[in-house]
Amino acid sequence: MAESSDSRRKGAGAGKRASEAATSEPGSIPNSPCGACKFLRRKCVSGCIFAPYFGSDQGAARFAAVHKVFGASNVSKLLMHIPVNRRQHAVVTISYEAQARLSDPVYGCVSTVLALQQQVHGSTWRNGLVG
Amino acid sequence: MAESSDSRRKGAGAGKRASEAATSEPGSIPNSPCGACKFLRRKCVSGCIFAPYFGSDQGAARFAAVHKVFGASNVSKLLMHIPVNRRQHAVVTISYEAQARLSDPVYGCVSTVLALQQQVHGSTWRNGLVG
C-alpha cells in the first residue's frame, strides 16, 4: 500500500536538507540509499538502522507499509532496543504485521490468530477479544 | 510501558490548539477527557475519535501502549478509514498487537501465530517468515 502524498512530501522536505552522502554497505551500490531512506527521500547515512533490512531495490515498497502502520520513528526506536542479531527477525515480523493491517484494517494479523485458534480449539477467543 | 516525555510534551502541544469542548459520553464525567487525550495531555474535543474506545479511567494505560507502538496519528488515520460500527474491533486488535509487541519486541503477536501454526501443522512457517 503506498504511502500518502502528505507523508512523502514531508519526506521530500527532509531529503532536500540532506547532503549527498549515502550508505556504503557490502553489496550495495555506492551512494545508493537503502529502501527506507529512498522512500523517506532522505540521506542514508553510514550506520543507518534500516539499511541492513530494507534493500535499495525492493525495500522501499516494504518500508512504505511499515511506515504507514507503525511510523519510521517508532520502528527505529524499537530496533534500537533490540540486539543487532535479532533485528532481522523483528523487521520481518513488523513487516508481516504491517502488511496484514493494510490488507485487513480491522483485524490485521489477529485474523490469522483467530483462524488458527478456531482450528486448534474448535472455537476462538474472539468473543473475549473483541466481544 | 510508559510513553517518553518527548511524546507527552508533543501531545500537550497539540492540546493547546484544541477547543474547550470535551467528551460527553454516557457514563463519563462531564468535561473529563478520554483516556487517549488524558495520556496525550490534550483537550478532548466533542467527536474525539478515541473517546468511545479509551475510557477516562483505564483507557490512558491502554492507549499508552497503542501510542508507543503505532503512534496516535497513525491509529487515528486508520480508524477514520474504518466504518464506525467496526472501530471497536479495530481498537481491540490494535491494542492486542501493541501489548504483544511491548511484551515481545522481536516477534510481537507473531509469536502466537507461530505457536498456533506449530500446533496445527506440526511445523511453522517460521523459516519462511524469518529464515
Which of A44-48, B25-29, B59-63 comes out lowest in average pLDDT? B25-29
The minimum CA-CA distance between B124 and chain A, rounded to whole Å, is 12
**pLDDT above 80: residue B29:** no
CB of A46 closer than 8 Å to CB of A23 = yes
Contacts of residue A125 in chain B, CB cutoff 8 Å? none
pLDDT, residue B9, reads: 40
CB of A39 closer than 8 Å to CB of A11 = yes
Here the cell at position A104 is: 485487513
**Pick from B116, B53, B99: which is nearest to A114 by CA?**
B116
**Pick from A62, A1, A10: which is nearest to A36 by CA?**
A62
Q: Report the residue from B73, B92, B108 with minimal CB separation from A93.
A: B108
ipTM > 0.90 (yes/no): no
H/E element, B23: none
Percent of residues, chain B, with pLDDT higher than 70: 69
Dist CA A77 CA A87 (whole Å) = 12
Dist CA B33 CA B60 (whole Å) = 10
CB of B97 closer than 8 Å to CB of B108 = yes
H/E element, A91: helix A84-103
Q: What is the SS3 assignment for B82?
A: coil
More reliable by pLDDT, B124 or A55: A55
pLDDT tens profile A77-116: 999 999 999 999 999 999 999 999 999 999 999 999 999 9
pTM, entire model: 0.76
Looking at residue B99, its amino acid is Q
CB of B130 closer than 8 Å to CB of A92 = yes
pLDDT tens profile A23-79: 344 444 556 899 999 999 999 999 999 999 999 988 999 999 999 999 999 999 999
Contacts of residue B70 in chain A, CB cutoff 8 Å? 69-71, 74
Q: Report the residue from B82, B93, B116 with minimal CB separation from A130.
A: B93
CA B93, A72, A2, B49 dihedral sign is positive
Which of A71-85, A113-127, B48-62 comes out lowest in average pLDDT? A113-127
